[in-house]
Structure 1
Amino acid sequence: MTGEILEPTRGKLERTLSQGIQALYRSQLGHPTSQALCNLLDNKLIIVIENGLTQPEKLLAQNGQQDLALQVRTQLESVLELSLKDLIKEVLGVGVTDLLRDATLETGRTGTIAILESAPKIRDSPYQSKTKLKTPDT
């Protein structure tokens, strides 16, 4: 078993993606998010970003320009799309076939659902493997 490479756990992948998304927002938008939560479900990745709106978007929304703020958000997401897809592929090892996005001006949250080409290879965490029934080949 020496030299065997173990697949990462779901939690490890989710944390790595969260950190990468926060770094992406800082480097590309100059905007620190307060939190990026990632949840991997088979071939779907759910991303919720707290404090995801930039200061100009907030300023527009606070001054009666909600439509323009949403247009700016849409354009920013479009510009970030390729970088986000690349980050997801780098971390999970599978490509993205679709990105579904939305933002809420009132709370400053943004949400993305990434539909993946396939479910990434992961291993059970130690806790999960203890709770699973053992089969003859495991």
Structure 2
Amino acid sequence: MNIDSSSTEQNPTRGQLERKLSQSIQAFYRQNLGYQPGQTICHLFEQKLAIVIENSVTPTEQFLTDEGEASLAKKVRESLDNLTRSRLQELIEDILEVQVRDLLSDVTLETGRMGIIVVLEETPKVRNPESIQKKKSS
């Protein structure tokens, strides 16, 4: 099987895609919700993308939690997630150039961490495809 090396060389590396996603997700939250989340880590493996966002709780959610209104803070978070889900999905699809099949997310208000798991239609094309972990066959 011949691989067209010219098209492979034009693709970004896995690391470049992960960094671009991280930076774009931080910018997305800053532009759309008016706050800068902390460190954002993205990791591609097979047809999945795992995202961990530190300090993802907005100042409003933090204020509600601090004032003993954790249930209201959770409702605010659910609303924010519902409102931003399709835009975040579009952002991921634009950067990876593959369709998103499913996007699952959750946040822990106590720690401020958010986790997002994205299931992709196919593995993104990268210059170094061997760097994307594959599940081991038994």
What TM-score results when the alignment is normalised by the length of structure 1?
Answer: 0.85
Q: CA deviation at 1:123?
A: 2.1
- What are the residue-to-residue correspondences of 1:1-138 with 2, within 5 Å? 4-5=6-7, 6=9, 7-124=11-128
Tell me which amino acid in the other structure corresponds to 1:73: R
Which SS does the other structure have where 1:120 is aligned?
coil
CA distance in 1 between partners of 2:12 and 2:31 (Å): 26
Residue identity over aligned pairs, in percent, reads 48
CA distance in 1 between partners of 2:75 and 2:88 (Å): 19
Which SS does the other structure have where 2:35 is aligned?
coil
For 1:135, the equivalent position in structure 2 comes to none
Ranges in structure 2 where 5+ consecutive residues have no aligned partner: 1-5, 132-138
C-alpha distance after superposition, 1:30-61 (max 9, x if no partner): 01112111011111111111110100001111
* Structural RMSD (CA): 1.8
C-alpha distance after superposition, 1:2-27 (max 9, x if no partner): xx342211100000000000000000
Q: Which has the larger radius of gyration?
A: 1
What TM-score results when the alignment is normalised by the length of structure 2?
Answer: 0.85
How many residue pairs were aligned?
Answer: 125
CA distance in 2 between partners of 1:74 and 1:46 (Å): 19
Q: CA deviation at 1:77?
A: 1.0
CA distance in 1 between partners of 2:14 and 2:70 (Å): 37
Q: CA deviation at 1:118?
A: 1.0
Which SS does the other structure have where 1:121 is aligned?
coil
Q: Which runs of 4+ in 1 moved over 3 A?
A: none
Which SS does the other structure have where 1:98 is aligned?
strand
Tell me which amino acid in the other structure corresponds to 1:45: L
